[in-house]
Chains A and B, each alone.
Chain A
Amino acid sequence: MIGTDEKKWLKKATAGNAEAFEQLVLQYQKPLYNLCLRMTGNPEDAADMTQETFLKVWRGLDGFRFDSSFSTWLYRLASNTCLDHLRSVKRRPQVSLTVADTEGEEQVLDIPDEAPTPETALLANEEREQLADAMRQLLPEHRQILTLRIVNDLSYTDIAEILGIREGTVKSRLARAREQLRKKLLQTGNKAESNSSNRQKRKGGRGK
């Protein structure tokens, strides 16, 4: 995964060359920012977390072992930075609990056929907002793996390395995460469709 340019930059950056480090930042800030965005759920935090990650990288470069993949290290740092952040602001428990509660109703799996056409709900204008909403309701671990796979387009092997889990676990966790996200989207979609003004109110009330 490491290109020759990247290796060069890495070596220089390790020696303290900020310009070389900037090249690394330019190369990776978008995928890392998107990972952080999906994990934290808001752009401000995402920018902060991206920044924090790169700062950690800069500080830790001396200790970076060139035998491991730089990008793996980056993704791992970023996602752990986000997880720590989520824990420290205590969003995680709230999020987890929602999931824990709904986990109990796993049988909801059968989507009744008469449900207001999920397709249209999924494709509604508010899609972006709904998607963000739904993502925020997932376990951080689920957001994390969905983003790594779908947004960052990483292979199961890479994800397994980043998260320190087996590929089999990547597979099963991804399935669980996809299913959760699908359900959340249907829920928010259906809610939005049945009562969009209500939804606005709810969102306002929830605040930060």
Chain B
Amino acid sequence: MKCNEYIPLLSAHIDGANSEIEERRLQQHLRSCKRCRELLAQMEQTDAALVENIAEPPEDLTARIMDQVRAEPKKKRAMTRVYGSICAAALATAALLAFVFSGNLPMPGFPNDGDPVSASDNSKMQDLSEDSLASPMSAEENQSGNYYGAVSEDPSSTDSYIESAPLSDKSYSETYPVSSEPYTEPMLPYAEPTEPNVPDTEPNVTVSDPGTADTEPAVSSGLQPKDAISDETEPQESAVISLPPLSPDSTGIPVGTYPAPSNTRKPSAVTDNTPVNAPLLVIWDAAELTALEEFVPVPFQSNSAEESNFTPCQNVPADTLYDRLLSAMPLNLPPLNNSMTLPFEIKSYSVPYETMMALFEECIGTYEIAAYYPAALEDFEHCTILVVERTVEPIE
């Protein structure tokens, strides 16, 4: 075992959370390793510093809270609201999972190996009208409180989501002042058709015509597919990604667009043609993996030694997955039912950036797309793509 593999044991040691065997192994190592002893001492100091710096809340905080509470008449409404919103949520979710398409998504004209679908598809991007604000699933309900029915009716608390909502005629990059780094091609190493950093995953994307995509898998490329929840084996080097075919009879619940409560959910796209039951393509970024590891069932493919230390969790329990998905991406998903059956299935793929972009462009109009990645695109060597397939039928 290398030193940095002892870090989890060091941390758990502080919390008294090591098993007997782990503790013995750690102690044995500590006896012989000065560096780890120092590391432990520093960790303990850091902990202590955090405890020492526990702050007192401002004196008027209670009064502030209570003033606001008292100003708000207590209504017997929450239960009805909850049930209403559950139904609404189910309906909304069945209809679509959608986000504001926003920010510095370099989608239009982004170089890729496939056909440049961007311009026309981009124009199909549905404008957001004020109507979308009246959607049954409000941003408020995406917050954690919705599990318990903490439903807000305070219009002021929806400010951020109102700000993030309207797109109308503005260009996407204008819409989001928060996207402070507009897309500029020269800055992107990925914009150059150079060879990818990852040898085994050539961005060799074969994309079929979206028009014919209803029976065939829409996209295939040299990727490593992985069933998110059930599959525990190592990824096949040469496997082929096939995004699920779309249901052919995708008819008409009008596709509205639900504003994302958060500005950092960068792009998402629903076009007029997006089928009702279209799978949701969630694009995840590699940088997030460190924090959201349990969410990524595919081993992070990487050449670098430190990144390959990353060990994803397998067999994530349904409720965990659900919570993580919701807390990480503001998806409008129906609540988890009592039997803990997920209202969706997830498959994930780890792909090089270029492949992701090609997929992304190709999937517009065919998939509902949500993506989240940091502003600096240079950070993208790998992305994790999650395909979320709804298993809940739309409610008519």
Give the B-binding residues of A (Cβ under 8 A).
Answer: 16, 18, 21-22, 25-26, 29-30, 33-34, 37-38, 43, 46-47, 50-52, 54-65, 68, 73, 76-77, 80-81, 83-84, 87-88, 90, 92-93, 96-97, 99-101, 103-107, 109-111, 118-119, 122-123, 127-128, 131-132, 139-142, 146-147, 149-151, 156, 163-166, 168-169, 171-176, 178-179, 181-182, 185-186
Contacts and interface: CB of A to CB of B under 8 A. Distances in A.
B149 A171 contact: no
Contacts of B47: 150, 178
B264 A156 contact: no
Contacts of B11: 171, 174-175, 178-179
Dominant SS at the B interface? helix
B65 A60 contact: no
Interface of B: 3-4, 7-8, 10-12, 14-15, 17, 35, 38-39, 41-43, 45-47, 49-51, 53-58, 61-62, 64-66, 68-70, 72, 74, 76-79, 81-82, 143-145, 148-154, 157, 160, 164, 178, 180, 261-264, 286-288, 290-294, 304-307, 309, 311, 313, 316-317, 319-320, 322-324, 327, 374-376, 379
Given A55-B68, A84-B262, A150-B47, 17 more contacts: A30-B56, A51-B64, A55-B152, A56-B152, A63-B81, A80-B144, A81-B144, A96-B287, A106-B309, A165-B320, A166-B294, A172-B8, A174-B15, A175-B8, A176-B7, A178-B46, A178-B47
B57 A29 contact: yes
A111 B365 CA distance: 51
Contact of A63 (B53, B149, B292): B149
5 contacts: A47-B57, A59-B72, A88-B164, A88-B261, A97-B376
Contact of A131 (B53, B68, B149, B160): B53
Contacts, number: 258
Contact of A77 (B57, B77, B150): B150
Nearest to B58: A47
Contact of A99 (B53, B287, B293): B287
Contact of B72 (A50, A58, A101, A103): A58
Contact of B290 (A33, A51, A58, A99): A99
Given A55-B65, A97-B374, A182-B39, A171 B70 contact: no
B264 A87 contact: yes
B379 A100 contact: yes
Most buried by B among A83, A106, A151, A165: A165
A81 B150 CA distance: 12
Contacts of A186: 42
A184 to B, nearest CB: 9
Contact of B4 (A80, A92, A106, A122): A106
Contacts of A65: 148
B157 A52 contact: yes
A160 B14 CA distance: 18
A124 B113 CA distance: 55
A162 B179 CA distance: 31
B287 A77 contact: no
B42 A29 contact: no
Most buried by A among B7, B148, B180, B263: B148
A101 to B, nearest CB: 7
Given A63-B148, A169-B293, A176-B290, A26 B62 contact: yes
